[in-house]
Amino acid sequence: MTTATPRPVALPRALVAPAPTVRTARPDEAAALAALSRPFVRSGALRERPAALYAARAADFLVLEAPDGTLDGCVGLRAYPAEAWEDRRHEGVVYNFCVAAHRQGSGAGAALLRAVLDTAHAQSLESLFTATTGGAGLFLRYGFTPTTPRRAPRAWAESLDPRRNARVLVRTW
């Protein structure tokens, strides 16, 4: 009979490293939100927004915070209550969705999107719109479907720049 000394098993890094946290952004993180968004603005995927807007709308943003406190992703959610004179539902818009390059493909975007869907559900939003210049694969996997800007909240739809050729998507409950 042979006996061997057990060797320690190395756990995959994902099982050892603390998980990132998804939480609401703080106004003092406006510069970090702008910096996180900057590469996407340069590529044309996002519209440029001043740091003051991030500060003023910090409560709109969910952020993916790494264990070291840095922000690895963000997504905005803006609610648009139904107007009494319109035949519309309580709607929301997902905007400024971005994940740092070193976290792309790691599930970070899916974690943010699940969190924003949970938040929209908690706010009783019946429809959730977004516009993307990318492939939209993540949105489609989470139940978004193509639509037209005419179905979206008017103020948001009117703010879309037609030169960007963005696809408008919706998810309804």
Q: Tell me: the pLDDT tens digits for 61-115? A: 999 999 999 999 999 999 997 765 455 678 999 999 999 999 999 999 999 999 9
Sort 55 into a burial class: Cβ within 10 Å, 0-12 / 13-18 / 19+.
middle
List the chain domain ranges: 17-172
Sort 137 into a burial class: Cβ within 10 Å, 0-12 / 13-18 / 19+.
exposed
Residue 54: Cβ within 10 Å count:
25
CATH no., domain 17-172: 3.40.630.30
Tokens at 172, concatenated: 């309804």
Q: Tell me: the pLDDT tens digits for 23-55? A: 999 999 999 999 999 999 999 999 999 999 999
Question: Are 62 and 77 spatial neighbours (Cβ–Cβ below 8 Å)?
Answer: yes
Q: How confident is the model at residue 7 (pLDDT cuts 50, 70, 90)?
A: low
